[in-house]
Every structure is written in C-alpha cells, then in structure tokens.
Amino acid sequence: MERDVIITEVALRDGSHAMKHQYTVDQVVDVAKALDLARVPYIEVSHGDGLGGSSLQYGLSATDEFELINAAVSVCKHAKISVLLLPGIGTVEDLKKAANLGAKMARIATHVTEADVSKQHIMVAKELGMETVGFLMMAHMAPINTLVYQAKLMESYGADTVYVVDSAGTLLPDQVRERIKALRNNLHVNIGFHGHNNLSLAMANTLVAIEEGATRIDGSVRCLGAGAGNTQTEVLVAVLDRLGLKTGIDLYKMMDLAEEIVAPILPIPQEITKGSLVLGFAGVYSSFLLHSITAAKRFGLDPRDILVELGKQKVVGGQEDMIIDVASELAKQKTNAI
C-alpha cells in the first residue's frame, strides 16, 4: 500500500514510561491486535529505555519484554514489530533475540553527539535482515552541523532512516524545520521525526517535519508516552487525511481503539501537567518526570526544581542516577538555607 507518511506507533514502548513499565501480555496483545486491524504499519514494543532496560535504575518491567515482543508478533498479520535499543543498555544478543522472535525493525538510539556507538548495532541489525533506524535523541542539545555529522555517521553504518528525536519536547517549530531541512539536504536515506508534547507542540512540530521532507513519523495512541506523551496518533491520522496525505491507517478504528482499549489502561490521563511542562521548558529527557517526582517525595522537594537543575547540568538519557544526586544536593542546600 502506498503511503506518503509512514507511522510507527510507540505507545507500547514510549508509553511504557507512563505505565511504569508494568505492561502485561494481555494488554500488549489487545493493543497490538487493534493497531494491526487499523493497518498501522509499525508497532514498537520494548521497555521504555529499550531492550535490556528493565533494571532498578530505569525501572523494572512487570513482564519480560521478550514475552511482550513475542506476544505482539503473534497477533499481527500486517504490522511489523519494531524494537528500540540504546547501546550500553541493550546488547547485540538482545537484538538477535528480538529478531529471532520476529521483530522486523531495529531503532538504535544514542545521544545526539554519540552516533559512533551505534555502528556495531546498526550493522548487526542489517546482517539480521532488519530494517534499521538511527535515533538521535535530545536533538536540541547539538548545533545543526553536529546533528548533520552524527546523522551521516548513522547513514554510513547502514541506517535506512535517521530520526531527529525531540526527547524533551522542547524544540520549537522553526528549530524542527531547520534540523529536518539540514538532514534532508545532506542525507540520502529516509528522515524521521519523534516528538513529545511537553510544550503542546508535538503536532505542530510533526507537521513542520513532514513539510520539510520527513516521511517516517512516530505517534502514540491516546498520547501514551513519556512526559506529556508523543504526537497523538489518531489525531495525526485525521490531520494528515485533511491534508491529503496517505497513511494507510483506518481513522475510525484508531479512534475506537484509543477510546475503548487504550484509555482504560492509562494510569492517569495524558495531559500537560506542571511536571511535563517543566520538562519542555528545561529541556530534560521526558522519561525523567516520574523518577523526579519520586525523588522529590523522598527529599521533600518540588520536582520542578529537580528538573530545572537537571536541565542546567545538561543531563541526558542514561543518567537517571543523577536525579537522586541532584535531589540530595538540593535538599542539603535547602536545609543549609533554613
């Protein structure tokens, strides 16, 4: 089926953060089956921090992620299952295991200045016959020329697509425009965009990315993702249809599954709270929110102060242990000031 924009549904991976990584097999089966019936082409299933992410540092999964991947593969007749891997968290063996279970796409995610660590994993994914994606996280933290250089590294390793990833939901539309345009002008592979809604700009940023040539776009049904969630898939499908762009996705089925299957499993409604708003304001990784709320309760702090300080220190994904360190130091300063 011809599609102008190819959507990857990330609620079963990015949404794992909002679910505190407590997805069950039954939940994944119900959501994946409904997404497949709606003809969503790619569904990502992993721990929120990718393969191997289940840990005390990142959050323990209720169910082994390979069981969830296997369950999703087993019920999808049309959709391809994708997995995310962050080198240093996930391993090549994890990638091989996911491929053996039937995962067809591997998205290798690094900090925007660290694409060189993706080489082995992208090349192994290609050898396994998987579609490969380079995923440049925290894209706001690097100048344009650095972003282009890092993206070209991923392209040289064999990535079929390279993504600009607004992990903090902090980019403004013009900033997305210049980043996507720069990649489009310098790369020969597909360009993708992954947004977060912490400043209520996920949809606007996604549309700008598409205008500038991004053809691979992420969405999360019912906005189920870290922070205030991602670009809302069912809304995106409707908007693109209004624009005359083909996604191949059944809008009514997306509306129904969002309302009847996903909404009932949400721990809380996905909305822009003061916590998720400050993520976008401070430019902090969206998955830090729940960890910061927990740390704030422990140390008697306002989680916003923790997140703003993390932003000042330019903490990136993979440094979740810094949340406790920052909270502890802020608590000491608060005590000394009294």
- Is 42 annotated for ligand binding? no
Q: What are the angstrom distances between the C-alpha of 243 and each of 191, 217, 237, 239? A: 20, 15, 10, 6
- Is 196 annotated for ligand binding? yes
Tokens of 133: 């994606």
Cα separation of 51 and 92, whole Å? 10
Any idea how long the chain is? 338
Cα separation of 11 and 31, whole Å? 9
Cα separation of 102 and 82, whole Å? 9
- Is 14 annotated for ligand binding? yes
Element housing 336 (H / E) = helix 321-337
Half-sphere exposure of 28 (CA within 13 A, CB side): 32
Q: What is the DSSP string of 83-117?
A: EEE-BTTB-HHHHHHHHHHT--EEEEEEETT-GGG
The residue whose two tokens read 């809380």 is 268
Sign of the Cα torsion 170, 172, 173, 174 reads negative
- Is 58 annotated for ligand binding? no
Cα separation of 225 and 230, whole Å? 6
Can you point out the beta strands (E) in 56-197? 80-85, 105-111, 131-137, 161-165, 190-194
Examine the residue annotation and report whether 17 is marked as an active-site residue of this protein: yes
The residue whose two tokens read 């909270």 is 327
**Sequence-separated contacts (24+) of 236-245 with Cβ below 8 Å:** 236/7, 236/203, 236/206, 237/7, 239/203, 239/207, 240/4, 240/5, 240/210, 243/207, 245/4, 245/5, 245/210
Q: Which of 17, 47, 121, 291 is catalytic?
A: 17
The residue whose two tokens read 């409904």 is 34
- Is 47 annotated for ligand binding? no
Cα separation of 113 and 188, whole Å? 20
Annotated binding site: 13-14, 167, 194, 196, 285
Annotated binding site for substrate: 13-14, 167, 194, 285
Q: Known catalytic residues?
A: 17
